[in-house]
Chain A
Amino acid sequence: MKYWQTYQNAVTTTFAYRGNLVLHLLTVGLNILMACFMWLAVYRFSGSDNIAGIGANQMIVYLIVVNVLALIFSANPIFTLSSLIRSGNLSVMLLRPINYFRQSFWTYLGQATPYLVVYGLAIGLVSPIFHQGWVYVLGSLLLLGVTYGMYFLLISLISLTSFWLIQVWPLRPVLSALFLLLGGQAFPLQILPHAWQWLTLNPFALAGNQLTLLLLGKLSQSQLWLATGTAVGWLLLAAVLLKIVWRRGIRSFEGVGG
């Protein structure tokens, strides 16, 4: 399997640049601290132990898990493709007997492996998922897999803006902010009024909010299937758009060498 080597390289690179790994974990720790202390202050001054059915301790666990998930769902493919397009070196990739997006996916998976292991261990050791029967366990794995693929395709689709944008760095804070708000990283979307609950099915929420609730055992069987179905829908939409936009983008690309 030719992409296995790509995956291994990505894992090796992640561990080779241990400084980057440590710094990422430190900054995530900083974000978790900020969110936890802010919410503890809100609990304290609201005079209630319970906000929209969520206790202060549950909120802390939620914030820790959702922030780890934010590491798994990174935006790195955007900046990799942007760099290849800007330098004109995408042509080198196109000449190779590989599919660019398949290679990019295995790199994405390799980079996220340390965090996926942490999430997997948390599911195996702490989560009540395994007490809910094998159908639920298989459904959970399916949701995790489909959501991961869906988010990768979404980020890849966004990365295609590099064909037309010279600078893509402003996308980084925006995607962080979208994950923060729409993904439920700043607060569980369940605390929003009922009229806004449809937000829990947006792609960022599926990756952040729903997978966190899954780990915490707060997702009912029907919610699990609804989330999986929606993730499949987003995945198909992203795949179709990716194909269309890639064709248009590649026409406007000017390469070097080769």
Chain B
Amino acid sequence: MGKIYRVLVSQSLAETLSYRLTASLTAIFGVMFYLIELVTGGVYFSFTTSIYGWTFLDYLNLITTASLVSYAYQFLFVAAHEDLTDQILSGNLDYSLLRPVNSYWFHACYRVDFPSLVTLLLTAGIEIGILLKLQPTPLNLLGYLLAVIIGVAFIFALNQIVVTLAFWVDGLTALNGVPEDLMSASARPAKIYPRLIQQVFLWLIPSLAITNVPAQFGHNHPTWLLLWMGIVTVALLAVSYVEWQRGLLKYVSAN
């Protein structure tokens, strides 16, 4: 599988180099989006120095971590997910189903989005600067990195579940944007929300935990929510895998 992935990555790179203008603009758009988030945060904190104990630096840590998780997902999986719905609906999965590979992972890793790497590296650089200022202990730093990895897996699982629904549902295009909207609404301190909303999005669908927990670790405040995030993410990955297997039984080829 490693060898196949290397080939897929090199194909993605070749495509990116072929479409240099698209790639450059994608990278610029990504940077712009992050800057806009930054300015919005600056406006909030121009009226107060602290919100529920969060300073501007903490807020910066939160939105940078949320962007880092989001761009890592985009770099690794978004291009594959963008194509998958169309391939399912147009009945074009045959070529991968005939191959002696795991079709779930083959389609999940079909392409990487190199332009997102630019914004990923930029946010990673800023986050390193923030962490140097916050000075987490090595153990908390490890917790932070683990939380980021779980975050990427969580967003991947949510999107995979939504995209695979194309085996059963046709035309519900707005559903594809739900994970993105959910994560952007979660890129705020959990405490701004009423207790009920906090509980739902920290425990049931832990999107708030995905963004808030890494920021806690960066601040040397470890939390057991990390473990819960991991459990829910593994459960969602399992659901997406079963959904894929069941979906293949519903698949109708165009060939």
A residues with a Cβ closer than 8 A to B are 17, 19-21, 23-24, 27, 30-31, 33-34, 37-38, 40-42, 45-48, 51, 161, 164-167, 169-171, 173-174, 177-178, 180-181, 186-187, 191-192
Q: A20-B173, A181-B36 provided; 15 other pairs, C-beta below 8 A?
A: A17-B172, A19-B174, A20-B171, A23-B172, A23-B177, A37-B192, A37-B194, A41-B52, A41-B189, A41-B192, A42-B48, A46-B47, A164-B22, A167-B82, A181-B39
Min distance, Cβ A167 to any Cβ of chain B, angstroms? 6
Q: Please measure, in the bound complex, the distance between the C-alpha atom of A53 and the C-alpha atom of B35, giving whole angstroms.
A: 27
On whether the beta carbons of A177 and B44 are closer than 8 Å, the reply is: no
Contacts known (A177-B33, A178-B36, A191-B43); A169 close to B178, Cβ less than 8 A: no
Min distance, Cβ A196 to any Cβ of chain B, angstroms? 11
Residue of A nearest to B79 (CB): A167
On whether the beta carbons of B185 and A31 are closer than 8 Å, the reply is: yes
* Central interface residue in A19, A24, A34, by most chain B CB within 10 Å: A34
Pick out which of these stretches binds chain A: B24-32, B226-234, B238-246.
B24-32
On whether the beta carbons of B172 and A34 are closer than 8 Å, the reply is: no
Min distance, Cβ A108 to any Cβ of chain B, angstroms? 16
187-224 of chain B: CB within 8 A of chain A? 188-189, 191-194, 197
* Chain B contacts for A173, CB-based, 8 A: 29, 33, 180
Q: Please measure, in the bound complex, the distance between the C-alpha atom of A21 and the C-alpha atom of B52, giving whole angstroms.
A: 35
Q: Please measure, in the bound complex, the distance between the C-alpha atom of A165 and the C-alpha atom of B33, giving whole angstroms.
A: 19
Q: Please measure, in the bound complex, the distance between the C-alpha atom of A178 and the C-alpha atom of B51, giving whole angstroms.
A: 25
Min distance, Cβ A135 to any Cβ of chain B, angstroms? 35
On whether the beta carbons of A51 and B21 are closer than 8 Å, the reply is: no
35-76 of chain B: CB within 8 A of chain A? 36-37, 39-40, 43-44, 47-48, 50-52
On whether the beta carbons of A169 and B82 are closer than 8 Å, the reply is: yes
Q: Please measure, in the bound complex, the distance between the C-alpha atom of A51 and the C-alpha atom of B43, giving whole angstroms.
A: 11
* Chain A contacts for B51, CB-based, 8 A: 41-42, 45
Min distance, Cβ A192 to any Cβ of chain B, angstroms? 8
* Chain A contacts for B48, CB-based, 8 A: 42, 45-47
Does B19 reach chain A (CB closer than 8 Å)? yes
Residue of A nearest to B47 (CB): A46
On whether the beta carbons of A34 and B188 are closer than 8 Å, the reply is: yes
Q: Which of the residues A21, A34, A177 comes within 8 Å of B37, measured between beta carbons?
A: A177
* Chain B contacts for A161, CB-based, 8 A: 25
On whether the beta carbons of A166 and B19 are closer than 8 Å, the reply is: yes
Min distance, Cβ A28 to any Cβ of chain B, angstroms? 9
* Chain B contacts for A23, CB-based, 8 A: 172, 174-175, 177-178
Q: Could you pull out 13 A-B pairs where Cβ atoms are within 8 angstroms? A: A19-B171, A27-B177, A30-B181, A31-B184, A37-B194, A41-B51, A42-B44, A42-B47, A51-B47, A165-B19, A167-B22, A170-B115, A180-B36
On whether the beta carbons of A27 and B52 are closer than 8 Å, the reply is: no
Contacts known (A165-B21, A170-B25, A187-B43); A17 close to B192, Cβ less than 8 A: no
Min distance, Cβ B26 to any Cβ of chain A, angstroms? 4
Does B182 reach chain A (CB closer than 8 Å)? yes
* Chain B contacts for A192, CB-based, 8 A: 43
Residue of B nearest to A172 (CB): B177
On whether the beta carbons of B40 and A187 are closer than 8 Å, the reply is: yes
Min distance, Cβ A195 to any Cβ of chain B, angstroms? 14
10 closest Cβ contacts across the A-B interface? A23-B174, A20-B174, A177-B36, A45-B48, A27-B181, A46-B48, A170-B29, A46-B47, A174-B29, A41-B192
Contacts known (A33-B185, A41-B192, A170-B29); A180 close to B21, Cβ less than 8 A: no
Q: Which of the residues B174, B184, B188, B189 comes within 8 Å of A24, measured between beta carbons?
A: B174
Min distance, Cβ B148 to any Cβ of chain A, angstroms? 20
Q: Please measure, in the bound complex, the distance between the C-alpha atom of A192 and the C-alpha atom of B37, giving whole angstroms.
A: 16
* Central interface residue in A45, A161, A192, by most chain B CB within 10 Å: A45
Residue of A nearest to B182 (CB): A30
Min distance, Cβ A125 to any Cβ of chain B, angstroms? 28
* Chain A contacts for B82, CB-based, 8 A: 167, 169
Min distance, Cβ B176 to any Cβ of chain A, angstroms? 10
* Chain B contacts for A27, CB-based, 8 A: 174, 177-178, 181
Min distance, Cβ A26 to any Cβ of chain B, angstroms? 8
